Structure 1
Amino acid sequence: MSKDIRIKKGLDIKLVGEAEKLTTEKPLGSIFAIRPNDFHGVIPKLIAKEGTEVKAGEALFYDKSDERILFPSPVSGKVTEIVRGARRKVLEIKITANSKQEFKDFGVKDVDNMSGEEVKNHLFASGCWPFIKQRPYDVVANPNQEPKAIFVSAYASAPLAADYDYTLKGKEKELQVALTSLTKLTSGKVHVSIGSDSTLSPFNNIKGIELHKVTGPHPVGNVSTQIASIDPINKGEVVWVVTPQDVLVIGELFTTGNLNLKRIIALTGSKFNKPAYVIGYAGAQISTLTEGNLEGNNARVISGNVLSGLEVKEEGFLGFYDNQITAIPEGDDYEFFGWNKPVFNKISTSRALTFSWLNPKKKYDLNTNTNGEHRAFVITGSYEEVFPLDIYPMQLLKACMYKDLDEMEGLGAYEIAPEDFALTEFICVSKQPHQKIIREGLDLMREELG
C-alpha cells in the first residue's frame, strides 16, 4: 500500500537561475574523466593503462574489495592520462574520445525471464553496479547483503534541481524494464516517490512498484527522508538506493545491450546567461557543456547542486552521478558591519534583522560567502527546524566529532547520508562543515562496525 509523505520541517532555498525547459545537444567533446573519488570508499585497481583503447561501457578499474564491481568508461576512445596524487592515489582517469562512438555490446536481455542472480551478474558485467548505493554509510552497495527494500526518489527538492518529469519524458519503457530488474534483487518492495502534483511523471503508470507522493520543503526529495517515513532502517538492515537518471541507464542496458551514459543535464544558477538543459555524458568536461553560456569570470562552478555539489573549474569534469551544473557568484567580497544592519537580500531562518520570511516566494541571487567565520558550536535549536528526521542533529554531529560509536548508533547514524545535513550546514551560525563531519563519522562506523 502506498504511503504519501508530507513534511513541514525543512527549507526551500529559492534561487534565480532555474533551467528553462529547453534542451540542446552539445558536441561530444574531446576529453572525459572518471574520478574514483566519486565512488566513496572504493579502492580502485586499474584495468586500463595509459594508451589503452576502450569502448563505451568497457571497464577502466574495479573495486579492490570485490573485483566483480567494475567502473566503466563513458565513451569510446584512448586512455591518455592517469592522474595520481599523494602515495600514487588515482585521482582521475582521462579518456580522449573518438569522433564516432563505439559501444561494448552486452546483449539485449528479457528481464521478465531472468532470475535475481542473472540480473545481478549482468549489472556486474556491464559496470552498472556502482549506480546502486546503500544505506547505511551511503556507499556503493554490498552485493553480498540482500536489501530489505530499494528506493528511487523521482522528486528533486534541492535548489534549482533538474526536473525529472522533464528529463525522463518518454522513457516509460526503459524505466519499466529497469524497475522490473530491481524487483528481482530484493524480497521486499521497490519504492518510488514523486511530487504530489506530478501528473506528468513517467513513473505514474509503472507496474510492480510502490508509488508514493511527497509534499513539503526540501529535504523531502532526499531519499533518507522517504526511507524514514516508509521503511526505517534498524541495526543490521540494509536498503539500496538508485537515482532516476541511473535507473534509465539500467533500463537502456537491458533493452539495447549498450551502456549509454548520455544524460540530460541542467545548467542552473545566476551566472549562466541562459539556464537550460543540455545533453552530455557522465564525466564530460565542464567547459564543453557550458561553452558560451557562463557570464563573467567571478563564478563558482559546481558539479551538482549548491548544497551538496562539488566545486569544479571549467577545465574540470562532471561527476559520475550528477545531472546538474550550478554557477553562482563567488563570495569574495565582505560587507562593512554586515552583522549589524537589516538584511533584505539573503535567506535566513531567523527573524533577527532579517526579512526573507516576509516574502517566502522571492528568489535570491546568493553568492558563496559564508558571512562569518568558523567557530565553536552554538546551541540555537535552529537545526531541528529544518531537519525532518526523527534524529537529534546537534547531538549526532557531536558524537561523530568525538567518535563515540555507541552514541552514533543510538542517535540514528545508520539512516543518514551527508546530504541530509546540507541544510543544517547552510543555516549554521557556527559555520561548521556538517557534511564533512557526518562523512567522517560514517566512514569510522563502516571501518569499525562493518
Structure 2
Amino acid sequence: MSKDIKIKKGLDIKLVGEAEKTVEQAIISNFCTIRPEDFHSVIPKLVAKEGATLKAGDVIFYDKSNEDIKFVSPVSGTVVEVQRGPKRRIDAIKIQADKEQSFKDFGAFNMDSDTAAVKAHLLTSGCWPFIKQRPYDVIANPEKSPKAIFISGYASAPLAADLDFVLSGKEAELQATVSVLSKLTEGQVHIGIGSNNSPLAGMNDAVIHKVFGPHPAGNVGTHINKIDPVNKGETVWTINAQDLVVIGELLLTGKFNPERVVALAGSSVKKPRYFKTRIGSEVATMVYDNGVEKDGNDRIISGNVLSGKQLKPDGSLGFYDNVITVIPEGNDYELFGWNKPIFNKVSTSRAFTFSWLNPKKKYDLNTNTNGEHRAFVVTGSYEQVFPLDIYPMQILKACMYQDLDEMEALGMYEVAPEDFALTEFICVSKQPHQDIIRKGLDLMLKEIG
C-alpha cells in the first residue's frame, strides 16, 4: 500500500562537500560522552557514579519524572568523569571505553510477544529514548498509545547522510523493528521514502509513502502534516531510520550496539565520506584527520547545517545524529555586502542575488547571518518554504508573547523546532525561529502537559 506525498513549497540548499559513498571504520574513540541535554525535558538521576565499571547496555541514569525510561551506556568501560553545571546539574557523563567491548545480554526477543512485553523490553534495554512523540518533540510517554508512528527514510536536508546507502544490508533489523513498532499503535506505521531502491521500501506491517519535492520533504513533521495531523489530545510517535537498526539488532541478538554510519561532510573537509562509529564518540577522531585544522576558523556541527548543534573541538557525536558537518566560520565583515550584486550566496529573494538563475549550482557557504537581529518584518517569504498547513509567522509570534490558546489553535501540537529551520535560514529579521518554537513547546508542556 502506498500513498505519494508531493511537496512544492520548500528550498533545496545545495552545498559543496557532500560525502562520497564509501565507508571507513573510524579510529576507535578512547572516550564516549553522553549528554542529558540531548534528551529534552529529561531530568537525569545518576546510577553509574565515577569509577563505575559498565558493559554496553548497563544503565547510566534514568528520568526522574519516569523511572522506567532508562539511558544506557553505548560502550563498555569505566565512568571517568561526571561533568556538572549550575546547581549540580548533570551536563555530561564521560566513559573511558575498553579496547575489547563487552555487551550486556538482554536475550533474543520473542517476536510474537504482546504490546506490554514489547514496551517492557525496549524500556529495560535502553532503546526507548529512540522513540519521540508529537506533541512537544520529547521522548515518548510509554503510558500512552499513539494514533500512528512515523519514520522518515528520506533525508532532504543539506549534506544529510544518504539513508538508502547507510541502511543498505540492514533489511532484517529494519523489518524486526517495524513489526514490533506496529504492535505499539492501534493505527499505522507510516514510512516515507525517497526512492524505490530504499531498504525500507519493502517493509511489511507498514504503509509506505513515496516523497517528492524540495527540503523539508524529508522531515517527519511534513509527513505527519500531510498524512495524519495531530490534534489536541492526540499523540503520534516518531523514530529516526538509523535507530531502527539499533533496536532491530537488540531484538534479534540481545545486544545493545549503538553503531552509527556517520556522514562527515562540509566544504572544510578534505575528503568527505562515511565512517562507522558509535553514539557519543569523539568527533576529533574523524574530523582532524581530514584536512580540518585544530586551530582553524571552522565550525563543527553535530547534525545538519540547518538544525544541528555546534560542537567544541573535543565534542562528541549527538545521540540522534548521523552526520558531522564542518563549514567555515562566518565571523568576518563584508563591506557594502547589501549594496552589490551577489553570485555566491543562496537566497529566495531576487534583490541583488542571482542563485535563482542557476538552481543546480553548489555553494560554499559559511555561518555568517549576513545581517543583525531585528524586529519581525512581514515579507510573506516564510510561506514560500513552509509546506505545513500552518501560519508560520503567526505561530512564532504567539510563542513569543506566550498565548497558549492561540498556540493551540495555530497547530503547535504537531510541530518541532526542525520544521522551522528553513524559515530561520531565509529570515530577513534574523530571528532564532527554532529557539522560539522550542521555548513555546516547553511552555505548553509545563502548563498543559
Q: Shorter-chain TM-score category?
A: over 0.9
Q: Any conservation in 2 of the 1:3–1:230 contact (CA below 8 Å)? A: no
The answer for the alignment partner of 2:97 in structure 1 is 97
The answer for the alignment partner of 2:113 in structure 1 is 114
The answer for the alignment partner of 1:211 in structure 2 is 208
Q: Any conservation in 2 of the 1:75–1:97 contact (CA below 8 Å)? A: yes
The answer for the alignment partner of 2:307 in structure 1 is 308
Map of 1:161-172 to 2, 5 A cutoff? Answer: 161-172=160-171
* Deviation for aligned residue 1:263: 1.0
* Deviation for aligned residue 1:185: 0.6
For residues 27 and 224 of structure 1, the distance between their equivalents in structure 2, rounded to whole angstroms, comes to 35
The answer for the alignment partner of 2:337 in structure 1 is 338
2:178 maps to a residue whose letter is L
Q: Does the residue aligned with 2:281 lie in a helix, a strand or coil?
A: coil
The answer for the alignment partner of 2:131 in structure 1 is 132
The one-character-per-residue Cα deviations of 1:349-389 (angstroms, maximum 9, x if unpaired) are 00001100000000000000010000011110000000000
Following superposition, which runs of at least 4 residues in structure 1 exceed 4 angstroms of deviation?
A: none
* Deviation for aligned residue 1:59: 0.9
The answer for the alignment partner of 2:35 in structure 1 is 35
The answer for the alignment partner of 1:184 in structure 2 is 183
The one-character-per-residue Cα deviations of 1:147-192 (angstroms, maximum 9, x if unpaired) are 0000000000000100111001011111010100101111110000
The one-character-per-residue Cα deviations of 1:219-241 (angstroms, maximum 9, x if unpaired) are 01010100111111111000000
* Deviation for aligned residue 1:199: 3.0
> Which of these residues, 213, 221, 225, is aligned with residue 228 of structure 1?
225
> Which of these residues, 258, 263, 269, is aligned with residue 260 of structure 2?
263
1:332 maps to a residue whose letter is N
- The yes-or-no answer on 1:277 pairing with 2:301 is no
Provide structure 1 residue ranges, at least 5 long, that are not aligned to the other structure. none
> Which of these residues, 248, 252, 271, is aligned with residue 249 of structure 2?
252
The answer for the alignment partner of 1:287 in structure 2 is 284
The answer for the alignment partner of 1:298 in structure 2 is 297
* Deviation for aligned residue 1:3: 1.6
* Deviation for aligned residue 1:204: 1.7
For residues 279 and 405 of structure 1, the distance between their equivalents in structure 2, rounded to whole angstroms, comes to 44
The answer for the alignment partner of 2:388 in structure 1 is 389
TM-score, with normalisation over the residues of structure 2? 0.99
* Deviation for aligned residue 1:314: 2.1
* Deviation for aligned residue 1:294: 3.5
* Deviation for aligned residue 1:27: 2.4
Identity of aligned residues (%): 65
For residues 12 and 140 of structure 1, the distance between their equivalents in structure 2, rounded to whole angstroms, comes to 29
- The yes-or-no answer on 1:75 pairing with 2:91 is no
Q: Does the residue aligned with 2:252 lie in a helix, a strand or coil?
A: helix
For residues 407 and 268 of structure 1, the distance between their equivalents in structure 2, rounded to whole angstroms, comes to 40
Question: Greater CA deviation, 286-295 or 220-229?
Answer: 286-295
The one-character-per-residue Cα deviations of 1:242-300 (angstroms, maximum 9, x if unpaired) are 00111111100011100001110000000100000000000001101223114341110
The answer for the alignment partner of 2:359 in structure 1 is 360
For residues 196 and 213 of structure 2, the distance between their equivalents in structure 1, rounded to whole angstroms, comes to 17
What is the CA RMSD across the aligned residues, in angstroms? 0.7
- The yes-or-no answer on 1:18 pairing with 2:15 is no
2:328 maps to a residue whose letter is P
For residues 143 and 220 of structure 2, the distance between their equivalents in structure 1, rounded to whole angstroms, comes to 22
Q: Does the residue aligned with 1:79 lie in a helix, a strand or coil?
A: strand
The one-character-per-residue Cα deviations of 1:46-103 (angstroms, maximum 9, x if unpaired) are 0000000000111100000111100011100000000000111100000000000000
Q: Any conservation in 2 of the 1:285–1:314 contact (CA below 8 Å)? A: no
For residues 225 and 363 of structure 1, the distance between their equivalents in structure 2, rounded to whole angstroms, comes to 25
Map of 1:40-59 to 2, 5 A cutoff? Answer: 40-59=40-59
* Deviation for aligned residue 1:110: 2.4
2:335 maps to a residue whose letter is F
The answer for the alignment partner of 1:242 in structure 2 is 239
The answer for the alignment partner of 1:433 in structure 2 is 432
Q: Any conservation in 2 of the 1:286–1:313 contact (CA below 8 Å)? A: no
Q: Any conservation in 2 of the 1:193–1:213 contact (CA below 8 Å)? A: yes
For residues 57 and 382 of structure 1, the distance between their equivalents in structure 2, rounded to whole angstroms, comes to 47
* Deviation for aligned residue 1:28: 1.7
The answer for the alignment partner of 2:401 in structure 1 is 402
